[in-house]
Amino acid sequence: MNFQKPKGTPDFLPGTVEKWQYLENTARELTALYRYREVRTPIFEHTELFKRGVGETTDVVEKEMYTFADKADRSITLRPEGTAGTVRAYAENKLYADPDVTKLYYVGPMFRYEQPQAGRMRQFHQFGIEALGSSSPALDAEVIAFGYDYCRKLGLKDVRVEVNSVGTAEIRANFRAKLLAFLEPMKEELCRDCRSRMERNPLRVLDCKIDQHRFDGAPSILDELDEECRTHFEQVRGYLDAMGVPYEINPRLVRGLDYYTHTAFEYKAAGIGAIDTIGGGGRYNGLVGQIGGEEHDQPGVGMALGLERVLIILEAQGVSIPEYAPLDLYLIGLGDRAEAETVRLVHAARAAGLTAEKDYQGRKMKSAMKSADRSAAREVAILGDDELDAGVISIKTMATGEQRKLPLGDFIRMLAEEKAGRQA
């Protein structure tokens, strides 16, 4: 039987996985500047966590979760997003006891059952940050700026930030009645999903890509904001202006998860047709209390980016992604004694900080040099039995074709010093 990977799941092979490492390494470099620390949570959690945290009327919970019963008949779900598990870890491990803001980040796979297509897989990957312990609008602005800075650091072009305020639960309840009054006359013309959402979560109707053209003249939640919410949103916008982060106000932006309050935002970039959203987030005051108990409630704000979508757009925009690092040294042994010595030398070269490889297939000189060329080796070291007896080794610089002989006992140190000089 020939096994194949499950539908909608990826294999990241050499030549491709380096691109993913670049996305992840860039994320880690930026989190160090912003002082976010990594958290690693389980890939599966108790199903109730996502029902309570994400929202029972969301598409994620109703249609897309991978849920199963374990051997003890407990309901378990593969994580569909990163915030709920991170907040659970924050509450369970009492990180709320820290008097300072807790700033966390995660990178890893998420799982949703949906029809696979470009930028939308059943196993997909997110990079996200969460900042807990402060309701300051400056923290909202920092999180928004972080995602924008990450996109810019990668070289993404034409990134747009859209922002909105979704107020509080009470404000949304008042807005719900006005929105339903607007939608009711067109109900039969709406798509099946919108008709279903009208019954359960009408704000989600505004998210629909199919029926957007029908919503001209729809009431705006911004008109319903109370003084506190309006002031918070104005301050967020002021901080974004001060930081030079460009943004647009989108009063129909509601996001697909129930836990958001106040600020909601998305990042968009052209490159994959109609699917232009690469990530987003918002403030979620009250979520910690829902998950960890009201007595430990803390305000929070976060964002996440879909790495598949980021990579697709980078490639569509022609942005160059650093490939596999070139090899510092490739060793070829000619003769039994010389071949045995290259085993020691390749290990010594790596210990000295050189990326090093050797021929393990007993190739003849011409074939071994082709292998060195495919490895993008900077230097090729050729050792025969005669050179071994003489205590020297032949070095060829592949870019120029220059050849030289160096002392066998010193050449690794000399090449390591040359590398350090190039990097200085």
Residues 261, 368 within the same domain: no
Q: What is the pLDDT of residues 217-240, one digit of tens each?
A: 788 899 999 999 999 999 999 999
Please check whether residues 30 and 148 belong to one and the same domain: yes
Together in a domain, 103 and 239: yes
Give yes or no: residues 250 and 142 share one domain: yes
**Are 145 and 258 in the same domain?**
yes
In contact, 22 and 322? CB cutoff 8 Å: yes
- Mean pLDDT (the chain, rounded): 90
Lowest mean pLDDT among 137-146, 187-196, 370-379: 187-196
Span 75-103, average pLDDT: 95
> Diameter of the chain by CA atoms?
93
Residues 6+ apart with CB under 8 A from 343: 358
Q: Does residue 178 lie in a domain region?
A: no
Task: Please say if the pLDDT value at position 267 is more than 80.
Answer: yes
312 and 401 part of one domain: no
Residues 287-297: tens digit of each pLDDT: 999 898 888 89
- Picking from 316, 342, 358, the residue at the C-terminal end of a domain is 316
Residue 258 maps to which CATH number?
A: 3.30.930.10
Q: Structural domain of residue 79, as residue ranges? A: 17-167+225-316
Is the same domain home to 154 and 274? yes
Cα dihedral 210, 213, 218, 224 sign = positive
pLDDT of residue 126: 97
Q: How many distinct structural domains can be found in the chain?
A: 2
200 domain-assigned: no
pLDDT digits (tens, 9 = 90+) for 380-396: 999 999 999 999 999 99
Residue where a domain stops, chosen among 316, 348, 382: 316
Is residue 424, in this structure, part of any structural domain at all? no
If asked whether residues 265 and 134 sit together in one domain, one would say yes
pLDDT 10s digits, 19-73 = 999 999 999 999 999 999 999 999 999 999 998 877 766 777 777 899 999 999 9
Which pLDDT score is estimated for 390? 95
Residue 92: partners with Cβ closer than 8 Å, 6 or more residues away: 292
pLDDT at 256: 61
Is the residue at 188 inside a domain?
A: no
Residues 272 and 413 in one domain: no
Please tell me which residue, 1 or 306, carries the higher pLDDT value: 306
234 in a structural domain: yes
* Helix (H), strand (E) at residue 37: strand 37-38
Q: Give the angle 93-97-99 at the CA atoms, nearest 5°.
A: 140
Mean pLDDT of 251-266: 83
Average pLDDT on 120-138 reads 95
Going through 250-326 in order, the beta strands assigned E by DSSP cover 261-268, 277-283, 300-306
Boundary (domain end) residue, out of 270, 288, 316: 316
Output phi, psi for 241, to 5 deg.
-60, -45
Predicted structure pTM score: 0.88
DSSP assigned state of 62: I
Domain with residue 348: its CATH number is: 3.40.50.800
pLDDT at 310 over 70: yes
Domain-embedded: residue 161:
yes
135 and 261 inside one domain: yes
Asked whether the beta carbons of 239 and 264 are under 8 A apart, the reply is no
273 with 339, same domain: the answer is no
> What is the C-alpha to C-alpha distance for residues 110 and 81, in angstroms, rounded to an integer?
6
Task: Answer yes or no: do 265 and 335 share one domain.
Answer: no
